[in-house]
Structure 1
Amino acid sequence: MTINCDEVIPARHGKAIRLRKGEAVAVVNTHGTQVVDTWAFCVEDPAHYMSMEHTRVENGRLMPAVGHMLFTNQREPILVLEEDRSPGIHDTIMAACDRWRYERLGCQEYHRNCADNLVEAMAELGVAVTEIPAPLNLFMNIPVGQDMSLTQGTPLGQPGDHVVLRAQRDCIVAFSACPQDITPINGRMPTDAHLRLFPLTIGADA
């Protein structure tokens, strides 16, 4: 693919972009340790959004693999995981971190969090979000134990790992460079991540 431009998701902050049907975005784990919470909303109705529970049902998998659609809460395709140049471990279970999560972890003062990052990023595009859907937690390692326990695992990626998501309809895709620095999921050191935007069609060098 030919890269159109690079945009930064600053460490501990969020960013939202508009994609037309057929456009794509690469989410780059620039430093190899950063979880990127990812959401998608239909442009005509933010209450129609990418749903992890519906996606798990439709794909019959705990996490999507290359070629799998990501579905909305009305079971309609919104994105497709077109390419995955990472270990392929992405979480669909964990809720986005929020201020209450950090209070439970012992924080006495406000801690930046993915829920607020989503609200802020969408507001920059003039879109109000009234609920926080469960995100696709790109690059997040949550091992499931034989006893069905969930572990906040350490990162498995390498610098430059990336996934490509292609829009199946006009949508807004939002991202948060997760601020979690208490559990091991970001190696306890949140970093920037990057977005690479691609045109409507795949170039000859794809």
Structure 2
Amino acid sequence: MDFRQRAGILAATTRGTAMTDVPPDAEARRAIPPVICYPTETLPPPPMDLYRTSLASTWHKGTVRVPPREAGTAEIPAGSFLRIKSVEGPQVGDLNLFNAADLQERFYSGKTRALHGSHVTAGDRLWSSFPYLRPLATIVQDTLGWYGIDAFGGAVHDVIGTRCDPYTGRLLGGGDYHHCCHSNLTRALADWMEVPPRTAEPLVHDVLNVFMCTGFTRDTGQYFMKASPVRPGDHLTFFAEVDLLAVLSACPGGDCGAEHSSDAAACHPLEMEVWTAEPPEGWTAPAVNPYDRSHGR
């Protein structure tokens, strides 16, 4: 029984009709073609040639090594590049991005998903939260871009999942696990801010699941994960559109081929490399969204 059938049963039970009450035009309703919610034809494309030319003239500014089941932070000046790299074995990472000068402006996975789709790759942008809604970063290189969408509907670098966390663990009957990605990100951000974890936690947000291979099952519509195709040397490289703070957790699920939020999976470190250069000629940081915030008042 797939999720549509279950939904129909639930609806029928709720309204007190028989479970076999299928309307005569059911197939016609299902056959209505979909419409893209946010057509992007008018969205200004990123200047990829400009970014790639700039990347070719960068110098290495520094590397942050993120230990397994922990998180780390890196600051990336506007006009520079962040490269997240697999270095020892297949490992996925959960990424938070902030405007380093204003942590209230942070990565908005839901709007990024609405504009670019469930998984992102080179040429896609990571958008910031309301009321700013502007590109925080643009993906310039993706060595897993070849993967595409597999036979199960899986793809790499998703903006679907939230992040593994101790609250859901408790909800599902587990014990307290403090090295899930939400907790890792919270500790790392708290250290960077020099505040207690409870002060930093509300700023931790839904992530870009770097290197993670995910999708939705076709029979139940459930979010799934499978072993990541990432290998040492693979990387995802971003152009920083504003001064960025990156917070990256090396997920306790390792390659997420079996489970997460446990000490059972084989885990490996990740690296965040910062590559800097003179800002590209002709490039300017994107302005915040021009909406006047009146909301009809």
Fold shared, TM-score > 0.5 on shorter chain: yes
CA distance in 2, matches of 1:79, 1:185: 30
Q: In the alignment, which residue of structure 2 is the partner of 1:51?
A: 108
User: Match for residue 252 of structure 2?
Assistant: 179
Relative contact order higher in (CA < 8 Å, ≥ 6 apart): 1
What aligned pairs does 1:34-183 form with structure 2 within 5 A after superposition? 34-59=91-116, 61-74=117-130, 75-86=133-144, 87=147, 89-104=156-171, 107-126=174-193, 128-147=200-219, 148-180=221-253
5+ long unaligned stretches in structure 2: 1-55, 149-155, 195-199, 281-297
Structure-2-length-normalised TM-score = 0.61
* Residue pair 2:64, 2:73 contacting (<8 A) in 1 also: no
CA contact (8 A) 1:10 1:192 kept: yes
Q: Please name the residue that 2:31 is paired with.
A: none
Q: 1:121-153, CA deviations, whole angstroms, 9 ceiling, x for partnerless residues?
A: 112222634243110000111132323332221
Q: Which residue of structure 1 aligns with residue 83 of structure 2?
A: 26
- Bigger Cα displacement from structure 2, 106-115 vs 4-13: 106-115
Distance 1:63 1:195, change over 3 A: same
Deviations 1:157-190 (A, max 9, x none): 2221101111101121110001136862679212
Equivalent-residue separation in structure 2 for 1:42 and 1:18 (angstroms)? 10
Q: TM-score, normalised by structure 1?
A: 0.86
**CA distance in structure 2 between the partners assigned to 1:157 and 1:36 by the alignment:** 11
Q: What CA RMSD, in Å, does the superposition of the two structures yield over aligned residues?
A: 2.5
Q: Does 1:14 align with 2:86?
A: no
Based on CA coordinates, which of the two structures has the bigger radius of gyration? 2
Write the deviation string for residues 43-100 of structure 1: whole angstroms up to 9, x where unpaired: 23222111111112232x2112201111011321101111111246112111111112
For residues 203 and 64 of structure 2, what CA distance do their matches in structure 1 show? 26
* Structure-1 separation of matches of 2:251 and 2:168: 13
Counterpart residue type for residue 175 of structure 1: L
In structure 1, which of residues 188, 192, 200 is the aligned counterpart of residue 269 of structure 2?
192
Distance in 2, Cα, partners of 1:46 & 1:6: 22
Inter-CA distance 27–109: structure 2 relative to 1 (3 Å threshold): same
- Normalized per residue, which structure has more strand? 1
Q: Specify the SS of the correspondent of 2:218.
A: coil
